[in-house]
Amino acid sequence: MANANVCGRGKVSPRRHVPAHIPKPPYVNSRHSPGIASGPEVHDERGIECMRASGRLAAQVLEYAGTLVQPGTTTDEIDKLVHQMIIENGAYPSPLGYGGFPKSVCTSVNECICHGIPDSRALEDGDIINIDVTVYLNGYHGDTSATFFCGNVDDEAKKLVQVTKECLDKAISICAPGVEFNKIGKTIHDHADKFRLGVVQQFVGHGVGRVFHSDPVILHYRNRERGQMILGQTFTIEPMLTLGSTNAMYGPMTGPQ
């Protein structure tokens, strides 16, 4: 979230209102990005239940957001409706006010890697769009995203999205207490290599819970970082693949599915 990408071509509307009765995370109204908090967060039974609730709401919001994707719809309209659904469920849209981020959801279209800011740009036939939803519910953040097709998307883009989803699924499947975190990166990189796709290294997964971004840092490429998964941890895995150079900020790519 600290690296918000102004990827659109339109105007950004004013910040949306959140009712006073909805609890807000501590970073709201501060333009300073909190960054990644050090030290892993391990949940007790109540914490796990809270994480399930926030994750469930985030998933429901994301599913709804996906139904809004069609040619002619602006990413700002998606933000407006996502914002409304989140606050109607008594939650706070976590991106809003995080490090000065002006919107309630991230919408990353085509070459935008991630953290795209919703604006007045209308989606076009053939676009792909990653929608990244995080909600703050009862003191816990639920974080999820997916890439959606807008109209008739070409086969190359469809394949990119499919392989990224496969990378995510394979990485999730190896998670268990005691597993080295670096196996996530190897699993993703190995599968991407089979299709000659690049793995973006500039952005990472992260611990999530009472804090929006915390340890562990999850690298999606081959690495030798140490650290093992602990029972009761929650963290995101966010592989981002590209058809072009992984060193460039642009070139058709897709984020977590």
Residue among 37, 146, 135 nearest 95 (CA)? 135
Binding residues for substrate: 115, 213
Residue 7 lies in a domain: no
Domain holding 214, by residue range, is 37-254
What sign for the dihedral angle of Cα 246, 129, 9, 133?
Answer: negative
Binding residues for a divalent metal cation: 132, 143, 206, 238
How many domains, the chain? 1
Distance of alpha carbon 7 from alpha carbon 213, whole angstroms: 23
The answer to whether 214 and 37 are in contact (CB under 8 A) is: yes
pLDDT tens, N- to C-terminus, the chain (257 residues): 444 455 657 899 999 999 999 999 999 977 777 888 888 899 999 999 999 999 999 999 999 999 999 999 999 999 999 999 999 999 999 999 999 999 999 999 999 999 999 999 999 999 999 999 999 999 999 999 999 999 999 999 999 999 999 999 999 999 999 999 999 999 999 999 999 999 999 999 999 999 999 999 999 999 999 999 999 999 999 999 999 655 433 334 455 54
CATH number at residue 173: 3.90.230.10
Residue 21 lies in a domain: no
* Amino acid at the residue 107: T
β-bridge mates for residue 130, sequence order: 108, 147
Tell if the pTM clears 0.75, that is, is over it. yes
Q: Give the burial class of 16: count Cβ atoms within 10 A of its Cβ; 0-12 exposed, 13-18 middle, 19 or more buried.
A: middle
Q: Give the burial class of 175: count Cβ atoms within 10 A of its Cβ; 0-12 exposed, 13-18 middle, 19 or more buried.
A: middle
Say which DSSP state 142 is in: E
Residue 224 lies in a domain: yes
The answer to whether 58 and 112 are in contact (CB under 8 A) is: no
Distance of alpha carbon 244 from alpha carbon 134, whole angstroms: 28
Q: Would you state the structure tokens that stand for residue 61, as one six-digit string? A: 């919001």
Binding residues: 115, 132, 143, 206, 213, 238
Residue 10 lies in a domain: no
